[in-house]
Amino acid sequence: MAAFPQPQPNPGVMEIAAYVPGREHVDGVAKVWKLSSNETPLGPSPKAVEAVQALIADRLAIYPDGQATVLKQAIATAYGLNPANIICSNGSDELLGLIAQTYLGAGDEAIFTEHGFLVYKIQIMAAGATPVAVKETNETANVDAILAAVTPRTKIVFLANPNNPTGTYVPVSEVRRLAAGLRPDTLLVLDAAYAEYVRRNDYEAGVELVSSSQNVVMTRTFSKIHGLAALRIGWMYAPLAVCDAVNRVRGPFNVNALAIAAGAAAIADTTHQQKAIAHNDHWLEAMTRELTALGLRVTPSVGNFVLVHFPADPEKSAEKADAFLCARGYVLRRVTGYGFPNALRLTIGPAEANEGVVSALKDFLNG
């Protein structure tokens, strides 16, 4: 008997590899250190917590401001921007999807680098366009390779800067060269989710380039240094024409009221941000040094995580290390989907967790 007909997804949807987030739990292990999702070990600003608690009391039955005005103004004040050039979102992932939905369609192409954030490929394919992965050099985006991959069908170039999961970055001079080499009708999306952690004089998140261009946008998040991952807050700084187009696709209440209040309080608390930066500066250098001393290769990172590469010995592989670490309560991130089958990504965590990972890996490698 013939099967009953059923709704069919759009062409290409079932070819998308679903995004798999970092693991949180380990069966049978009571104390687990989650070092798999690049969250801050310091938590959110106390002022953000206070803002949420105050709002919960009597505003949960009321729709949020559909323009997230308070949050946009707080961002604008923090960075000296025009609020009209800002769009807030349900995490920066939503913005990546909105941009793809707004500017891509069947027959179009969009570029990202081979070890770039997996969401780019997902959103490109969801929009019916063709994803184009470009080779990196030393695990870093190569501007010449990106420009060589551009065709008349290229509508968007996604560049994570710094990149996840490698932690590498492209200097501002190279980003400007990339922008200058693109056609005016090709959109350059600078995903600067980890910008606050970067301590390099030749880095720029994208504010200046967006301000002087009509085809460059910058996306940011509150999920990392601001410690508000549970509330899902992202934002985009873009030319007015891009904002106008994306706003026509964006849902009317895409940022909830708790997120608006917490985000506005968090971005104004520079003292808390500086504490997070200081913690990361110390432990990023310390973990890179300690892991390298164990004989492991660590990709130089400017983010709040490190990519750790394991030996070719099958008994000392990333898969074996992951199992060993999980048994001790340390959950890192497998990055096979990013093209690193023999590496783990380690979030910089609290001192106890960082020291515990080093000790556990020492036992693993010497066992």
The pLDDT tens digits of the residues spanning 193-229 come to 999 999 999 999 999 999 999 999 999 999 999 999 9
- Token pair belonging to 179: 């922008």
- The answer, yes or no, to whether residue 6 has pLDDT greater than 90, is no
Q: What is the pLDDT of residue 255?
A: 98
Cα–Cα distance measured from residue 65 to residue 238, given in angstroms and rounded to the nearest whole number: 21
Q: Write the burial class of residue 252 (CB in 10 Å: 0-12 exposed, 13-18 middle, 19+ buried).
A: exposed
Listed in sequence order, the residues at least 6 apart from 336 whose beta carbon sits closer than 8 Å to its beta carbon are none
Cα–Cα distance measured from residue 97 to residue 106, given in angstroms and rounded to the nearest whole number: 15
Q: Which of 151, 154, 118, 113 is nearest to 135 (CA)?
A: 113
- The answer, yes or no, to whether residue 152 has pLDDT greater than 70, is yes
Cα–Cα distance measured from residue 92 to residue 101, given in angstroms and rounded to the nearest whole number: 14
- Token pair belonging to 83: 């609020």
Cα–Cα distance measured from residue 279 to residue 351, given in angstroms and rounded to the nearest whole number: 9
**Which of 52-66, 142-156, 259-273 shows the lowest per-residue confidence on average (mean pLDDT)?**
52-66
- Other CB atoms within a 10 A radius of the CB of residue 46 amount to 13
Cα–Cα distance measured from residue 352 to residue 33, given in angstroms and rounded to the nearest whole number: 9
Q: Write the burial class of residue 165 (CB in 10 Å: 0-12 exposed, 13-18 middle, 19+ buried).
A: buried
Q: What is the pLDDT of residue 263?
A: 98
Q: Write the burial class of residue 225 (CB in 10 Å: 0-12 exposed, 13-18 middle, 19+ buried).
A: buried
Q: Are 348 and 304 in contact (CB under 8 A)?
A: yes
- Token pair belonging to 244: 């106008």
| Domains detected in the chain | 13-36+271-366 (3.90.1150.10), 46-269 (3.40.640.10)
- The answer, yes or no, to whether residue 25 has pLDDT greater than 70, is no
- pTM for the model stands at 0.94
Cα–Cα distance measured from residue 69 to residue 217, given in angstroms and rounded to the nearest whole number: 20
- Token pair belonging to 67: 């323009």
Encode 254-315 in three state secondary structure: CCCHHHHHHHHHHHHCHHHHHHHHHHHHHHHHHHHHHHHHCCCEEECCCCCEEEEECCCCHH
Helix (H) or strand (E) holding 134: strand 130-134
Residue ranges of the alpha helices (H) in the chain?
A: 46-56, 69-79, 92-103, 118-126, 143-149, 172-181, 207-211, 240-247, 257-268, 270-293, 318-327, 351-366
Alpha-carbon dihedral of residues 255, 99, 143, 164, nearest 10 degrees? 40
- The answer, yes or no, to whether residue 1 has pLDDT greater than 60, is no
Band the pLDDT of 56: cuts 50, 70, 90. Answer: confident
Band the pLDDT of 12: cuts 50, 70, 90. Answer: confident
